[in-house]
Amino acid sequence: MRGINPAVAAVASPPIPEARSWAARYDGALGPVVDLTQAVPGYPAHPDMVRKLVEAAGDPESFAYGHITGDLALREAYAADLSSLYGGAIRPDDVAITAGANLASFAATMLLARPGDAIMLPVPWYFNHQMNAGLLGVDVVPLPCRPETGFVPDPLEAERLLDGRVRAIMLVSPNNPTGAVYPPDVIEAFGELCRRRGVILILDETYRDFRPAAVDRPHGLFGDAGWRDHVIQLYSFSKSYCVPGYRAGAMVAGPRFGPDITKILDCIQICAGRAGQAALAWAIPALRDWREGNRALMNGRGEAADRAFSQLPGWRLDSRGAYFAYLRHPFPGRSSFAVAEALAVRCGVVTLPGSAFGPGQQDHLRLAFANVESDSIVATAARLQQLSF
């Protein structure tokens, strides 16, 4: 009897449920469990957003199927917002609404690569991007990123690693897991590399709304009239509007990709949830100031993480930004898995091991500090200091 698809069986299990299971063995001696595994907003959605969601959920229109690539009102609102931010002319027809950014990533990988092809991912990578490729039988070419360069990928090194199998380069900025914000000129250099070498740049900007306030335009790719031929952007509404359970994301791509994106989305989602789309179409222009306030709040938590984690003897804060701190642990020879498990069981702090984010990450842990308030970050750091082997 034949069994499970070998490509699926070979993919590692999701790391977050396993990490959370460790907390069941914690005795509570140091206080309640602090869960820093999953990146979720540590504050509620705007009350007017909640009212809009309730209204939309009660509208019979939301019970029906919508357009495969998203309701027009949301595509118009998102295209206008992008055009304002990036200085380019992005059209509603360039936008496809997806059931979350993970689904957008899966669709983009399926769109561009077949089994035996490859995509290039900077390491450390976001594990779902690598898992998506594995499920589809697509290989991954690792692009090493290093603490000494702020975990920013090098386009020259990427070009040296390109071969005939690589169909796309996928970047995440601000980065998950490191929090690194890639400079605009680096992103633009990757765009030029992809244009010149005939590969596609997939740019995941899920955490774009939490970049440092001093940074204006994340990059200038959309100001180039030719972007539609070699750039696909991914985005999530979950973090910016505190609605991860509504599963709303977006892909931005040119007309050469549109018909095939529609085929894929018709098979794997039919349409994204209608109630969330209706509320988000209102929220994008209406909650702009609220989003800016949350950016400031999140950067304040990041600064608290800087202060708290930088003072820990032996530990090293190698990178921080958006929702994440990427810490080097002080236990040579101990795997990141063993350190993360011990931290959960003995100290009640649940983190993700660096090994979840690709090769060469055994010395690191990822902490999603967005989940907790600034004063709790200080208390969390004190628990880390108590861990020993």
pLDDT (0 to 100) of residue 214 = 57
3.90.1150.10, 2.60.40.1180, 3.30.420.40, 3.40.50.720: CATH of 6-44+290-385 = 3.90.1150.10
pLDDT at 271: 96
CB 190 within 8 A of CB 196: no
Q: Single out the residue of 1, 33, 25 nearest to residue 383, CA to CA.
A: 33
pLDDT in tens, 353-389: 999 999 999 999 999 998 888 888 989 999 999 999 8
pLDDT at 375: 84
Beta strands in 255-323 (DSSP E): 316-321
Q: What is the pLDDT of residue 39?
A: 86
* CA pair distance 368, 39, nearest whole angstrom: 6
**Ranges for all domains in the chain classified under CATH 3.40.640.10:** 47-287
What is the tens place of the pLDDT at every residue in 70-125? Answer: 999 999 999 999 999 998 889 999 999 999 999 999 999 999 999 999 999 999 99
Tell me, which fold does domain 47-287 have in CATH?
Aspartate Aminotransferase; domain 2 (3.40.640)
Q: Which of 315, 311, 300, 310 is nearest to 370 (CA)?
A: 300
* pLDDT reported for residue 215: 61
- Tokens of residue 35, six digits: 């869960």
Neighbours of 177 (CB within 10 A): 28
The C-alpha atoms of residue 60 and residue 41 are separated, in whole angstroms, by 30
Chain region(s) in the chain for CATH 3.90.1150.10: 6-44+290-385
Q: SS3 for 42?
A: coil
What is the per-residue pLDDT for 341?
97
Q: What is the pLDDT of residue 88?
A: 86
Express each pLDDT in 173-231 by its tens digit. 999 999 999 999 999 999 999 999 999 999 999 999 999 875 678 999 999 889 999 99
Residue 319 in tokens: 């990178």
The predicted-structure confidence for 268-277, as pLDDT tens digits, reads as follows 999 999 999 9
